[in-house]
Structures are given as structure tokens and as C-alpha cells.
Amino acid sequence: MDDLDRAIRLRAFNFLVEQTSAHGEVLPWHILSQGFLWDGKRVPLIGPQGIFKPAVLPELPLTIATAPVREGEPPPYSDGLDENGLLNYRYRGTDPNHRDNVGLREAMRKKIPLIYLFGVLKGQYLPAWPVFVVGDDPSDLCFKVAIDEQRLALAEPPGPADRVAEARRSYVTVLTVRRLHQETFRQRVLRAYRENCAICHLRHAELLEAAHILPDGHPRGEPVVPNGVALCTLHHAAFDRHILGITPGFIIEVRRDILEEVDGPMLRHGLQEIAGQRINLPSNHQLWPRAEFLEERYEMFRKAS
């Protein structure tokens, strides 16, 4: 990595630290496409294609991006983790010798750190860095990508027999991909519910969470909107602990001992007065909680009560 390449990548990493500190970990297209200034020239971090090299860089790509999946549609390509805890990243097209694929192959050879922009929603991306291309599989038209700790973004690359670094990258990659998918689920659920708590209508996104109807570890607990409900932190905790339940008819039930308890206004307004109310639902019927999911979760609530 020459001095110019190294300096621009460092500035790009620092730019992402600044922007995620100011705007949260999900960044809109306009911030990424505007990028930062370098020697009077604009350096965007994203372009129309997944593998992107800004003009200011002499040779190698700066970012790789994946498009967000549309609800109810199959992904445009099947990026995902392999059995070794590495991320599959699809080639540009089907020609292994396309210049973008050649650029990533050269980044692999030189062990150059990149930025991964994970599409959460249309025009919304969650960045992860540094990522390294560590393998190439022409038969499956994909690269193998590992994610490392941010503090090691420009450290000396590990040697081929550094098993500690290899294990660390695999661990960080698995954790990061899990976080990416959790944030995708949260953003999609909140958007479906118009950034309102389905129970109390609280509108502050920073206090809202995507609650799974069937838990994450359940065989059918997929991270899809019909298996989620947007809830504020109070009602999410109450839902998870079976203090409140939601019937298959979308009616809120509150545990009897909570209804009979005498306490202050938080208990009265936050839990007791919501009993018997109907939850707020997405305007798109296809995104409503699935009946069979609610039935199974409601049975869990009844047994816990």
C-alpha cells in the first residue's frame, strides 16, 4: 500500500467514525455518496456498483456494498457466512476477469483494508471496517471476506500462519454479520410501524426496538417483519418477560397480578390501562404479525401467567 492509498483509506475510516458518531451506525446514501474532500477533490464512498473505487485512489477499490433485500423478495444474490465464519461476497457479474473483480483480487494479494457497506433499507447502509478479501472462489463466483477490529484497520497484515489473527477475524466477522442482520430487522420493523410503538404510540426511534414474536432461537423465529412488532423499551421488556401478551386478534392482555398491583402512575398508565386495547398495525397488511406466530407466542404468555 503506497502512502497516498494509505492516507486516503485512513481518512475514509475516520470519516465513518465521525458520521456514525453524529448520525448513528446506519448512514444514508447522500452522506456516503458525498463523502469527504481530499486535496480539493470529492471522495465518495459508494457508487452505482457494489465494488467501488473513487477516482482519487490510484488503483484499488475502497468499498464493497450489498443492496438491501426487499421484504418478501429473495435477495439479489446470496451473500452470507460460510462454514469457516467468512463472508461470501459475490463477483461483479459472471466474468472473473471483470476489472472490478480483478481489483478485489489485487486487494487480496496486497492485503488492503476495505469498507463493507451493508444495505439495510433502500438508501440506508450500515458500514463495517476494516474488511479484507482473504479468498477467491471462481467456481462459485465469489470472494471470501473477513472483518477485523477497527483498531487494527491499518496495522501490519498478519502472516499466512497467524492462527490467532485468523481466529480473531472469523469471530469478529460472525459477530458483525449477526449485528448487521439484527439492525436490518430493527430498521424494517420500525419503518413498517411508522416508527411508533405498537402499544403506546411513542414515536422516539431511539427508544424503540424490534421485538421478535417467536424468539430469535426458535426454529421459525426468522428476522422478517411479520415476526416482529415495534415496541418501546418498556413494552418490549414486558412482552419478553410475559408481563403482557398479544392475542392472535391483536388485543393486548396484561398478567392478572400486574393488573391487581397498586403502585404509581408508571404502572397504571404504562401497563394496566393498555389491557384490552388493540395494537397499532402496519398500513401494509402483508407486514402484519403472522397469525400462527401470534398464536404460538400467546400460548407461551398464557402458560407463563
- Mean pLDDT lowest among 121-125, 127-131, 135-139, 216-220: 216-220
- Are 205 and 221 in the same domain? yes
What's the whole-number average pLDDT of the chain? 91
- Are 203 and 244 in the same domain? yes
pLDDT bucket at 71, cuts 50 / 70 / 90: low
Domain final residue, candidates 164, 190, 216: 190
- Are 180 and 200 in the same domain? no
- Are 177 and 217 in the same domain? no
- Are 113 and 221 in the same domain? no
- Are 134 and 9 in the same domain? yes
- Are 145 and 24 in the same domain? yes
Nearest of 122, 169, 107, 128 to residue 12 by alpha carbon? 128
Residue 76: the pLDDT is: 47
- Are 172 and 90 in the same domain? yes
Domain final residue, candidates 143, 164, 190: 190
- Are 231 and 179 in the same domain? no
Q: Which domain holds residue 22?
A: 3-190
The number of distinct structural domains making up the chain is 2
- Are 174 and 220 in the same domain? no
- Are 77 and 173 in the same domain? yes
* pLDDT digits 0-9 by tens, 31-66: 999 999 999 999 999 999 999 999 999 899 999 999
* pLDDT digits 0-9 by tens, 215-254: 888 888 888 899 999 999 999 999 999 999 999 999 999 9
- Are 185 and 208 in the same domain? no
Domain final residue, candidates 168, 190, 212: 190
